[in-house]
Amino acid sequence: MKALNLYGRQDVRYEDVPQPEIENDDDVIIQVKTAGICGSDISRFGKIGSYNPGLTWGHEFSGVVAKKGNTVSSLNIGDRVVACPCFPCFHCEYCQRAQYSKCADLQVLGGHRKGAFAEYISVPAANVVPIPDDLDFDAASFVEPSAVVVHGLDRVTVKPGMTVVVVGCGTIGQLAVQWARIYGAGKVYACDTEQEKLDVASRAGADKTFNVTNAEFEREFLAATAGKGVDLVIESSGNAAGIASCMNLASKGGTVLLLGIPYGDVAFNRTSFEKIIRNELTVRGSWNSLSAPFPGREWQTSLDYMRKGWLDPTLLITHRIKLDQAPDLFPQLYQRQFSFIKVLIDIDK
């Protein structure tokens, strides 16, 4: 079968690899239909490389059960599914508390195990989540990033009528705009450096958007919030400057939720750092998408709201490619040669 394998920084190859087979009684082989390129995939391509050179990567996907092990009774051949890309050890002290995201030996698809940028993938049945028949594979491929947002919002207090700003309108940020609405936010604002992304955020439900490259951005933001800032800041850019400056957007006593992953050092100037102290901000980090029962309510909640139509991830799809086109595209994505939000790979076409 064909797969994308990452060998090192900016070295991804479209290659023939053996098709996975059932090795354990609880294995499930999934034929991948659609896979999404995550922002972390782009950073790994450009800055980090592979933990295991030559490993197939990718972790956001949807597909169909093609084979299953002897003990798998919860799934049938032909079932439409997604799968959690994380593999806790289930034995360490954190797993014993059902804090799977904190697992001392957490492994992930595309980092430690063969990932989803391939025609077929093998995962344990416990990781597999069936999807409704009326949810298409494109939307279903967003369940994993949606679950990341839900996991984060569950770490903070969101009350009806609260004001929220989302900083960074990539996939996570755009989903956060929609989830803030679902959680009952009264006003939702969005910030980014690219107008194209802000336009999508408006369609996704943002009341007002701000381009942070505007020299008057903070003044205009404070004017829109009556000089107070907002109750909850969701930082989803992972940009070092964005992380530091987002403290300036929170109201006194407000909360900052950090979802974006920085791939470099983050430096705070004095003004931004003092906001945390003098305004008594709560700064909360969130990692991954897991809770009990594994893989977590975040997954089913995402599916439920997609099916209801309250959450529409298809707004985020800006580009589609085939698997063999990915090696040429990744350098363009890393260098930001064009504006994009979500690039989907049609695996079976």
d(CA 8, CA 1): 22
What is the model's pLDDT at position 349?
A: 66
Q: CA torsion sign, 18 to 21 to 26 to 32? A: positive
Residues 6+ apart with CB under 8 A from 190: 165, 166, 169, 173, 177, 198, 201, 202, 206, 208, 209, 210
What's the CA angle centered on 41, arms 259 and 124, to 5 degrees? 90
Q: What is the distance between the alpha carbons of residues 292 and 116, in angstroms, rounded to a whole number? A: 24
CB-CB contact of 222 with 245 (8 Å)? no
pLDDT per residue, tens digit, the chain (349 aa), is 999 999 999 999 999 999 999 999 999 999 999 999 999 999 999 988 888 999 999 999 999 999 999 999 999 999 999 999 999 999 999 999 999 999 999 999 999 999 999 999 999 999 999 999 999 999 999 999 999 999 999 999 999 999 999 999 999 999 999 999 999 999 999 999 999 999 999 999 999 999 999 999 999 999 999 999 999 999 999 988 889 899 999 999 999 999 998 878 899 889 899 999 999 999 999 999 999 999 999 999 999 999 999 999 999 999 999 999 999 999 999 999 999 999 999 997 6
Domains of the chain: 2-145+289-346 (3.90.180.10), 156-285 (3.40.50.720)
Helix count and strand count (H, E) for the chain: 11, 18
Q: Which distant-in-sequence residues (6+ apart) come within 8 Å of 308 by Cβ?
A: none
pTM summary value: 0.96
Other beta carbons within 10 angstroms of residue 73's beta carbon come to 8
Task: Give 37-61 as a DSSP string.
Answer: EPHHHHHIIIII--SSTTEE---EE
